[in-house]
Amino acid sequence: MDHAASTSTSSGAPASDALLIEHDAYALPGVVRVTLNRPDAFNALSEDLIAQLQATLSAIAQSDARVVVLAANGRAYCAGHDLKELRATPSLEFYQTLFGRCSALMMTLQRMPQPVIARVQGIATAAGCQLVAMCDMAVAADTARFATSGIHYGLFCSTPAVPLSRNIPRKAAFEMLMTGDFIDAAKARELGLINHMTPLDALDAEVAALAQRICEKPAAAVRVGKALFYRQLETGIEAAYQMAGQAIACNAIDPVAQEGMQAFIEKRTPNWRA
């Protein structure tokens, strides 16, 4: 069910016609649902939508939100960049600026402390597939499909290749990039592009259940964990162990972790505030 409430937000990010924001989504405190709302344009990432998403996510990153759900309205999740806009301004300077801003947006998804769940109800192509790959987790309807289809139009999906090749096996990524062929949700789950697949009418329930499981964990541990997860991925294994050892030592001394360990020893539920 595609819906989102257009509201003002405590994070300072205003909702708009093209981007809807709902706080306490799924009746879960701390869950923010951000919904792409250009259904007639297949939620293509126009220059304006990229700017709105950047401002919104940056504001949420500074808030006390616990989980972000990145959703979309309409038949498509996101069809990538707005090709009409690209064709209307055939300038190297414009393209460099636009793709640079899009890359910055993608990095914001990774760098923000809150886990981000992609809620994929339809096709996700090119930069839309990139969005899914850059989110920390993804839940898709069983009818969703994914492709890096730029090759069909003489435009190799160079930037989508970056997260795609870090999500799925190398040869599978290369085939998607070179052929532009679609894969279905079942294949996307098999390859590791998405976490869960569900019938469309159960999509919100599946997303809500995943978000709730994260919200039940201590916020400090989740934030530390996300930051460490990505830092160590881009580091050699010896340096990664050094980094991870320092992170877990700092985490372990935190009162939340101390209470968690004591609760385990005493065989009781931890008494903490997230």
**Is the Cα dihedral 225, 228, 233, 236 positive or negative?**
negative
pLDDT of residue 158: 93
Contact status, residue 200 vs residue 219, Cβ threshold 8 Å: no
What is the CATH class of 19-215?
Answer: alpha beta
Q: What pLDDT shows up at residue 104?
A: 95
| pLDDT recorded at residue 168 | 97
- Distance between CA 159 and CA 191 in Å, rounded? 19
Pairing verdict, β 67-72 and 116-120:
parallel
- The pLDDT assigned to 12 comes to 46
pLDDT tens for the chain, 274 residues: list them.
Answer: 444 433 434 444 445 689 999 999 999 999 999 999 999 999 999 999 999 999 999 999 999 999 999 999 999 999 999 989 988 988 899 999 999 999 999 999 999 999 999 999 999 999 999 999 999 999 999 999 999 999 998 889 999 999 999 999 999 999 999 999 999 999 999 999 999 999 999 999 999 999 999 999 999 999 999 999 999 998 888 988 988 888 888 888 888 888 888 888 999 988 876 4
Q: Domain 219-265 falls in which CATH fold?
A: Lyase 2-enoyl-coa Hydratase; Chain  A, domain 2 (1.10.12)
Look at residue 264 in the predicted model and tell me its pLDDT: 85
Alpha-carbon gap, residue 263 to 259, rounded angstroms:
6
Q: Which residues does 111 contact at the CB level (< 8 Å), separation at least 6?
A: 61, 230
Structure confidence at residue 22 (pLDDT): 97
Residue extents of the structural domains in the chain: 19-215, 219-265
Please state, in angstroms and rounded to a whole number, the distance separating the CA atoms of residues 196 and 204.
12
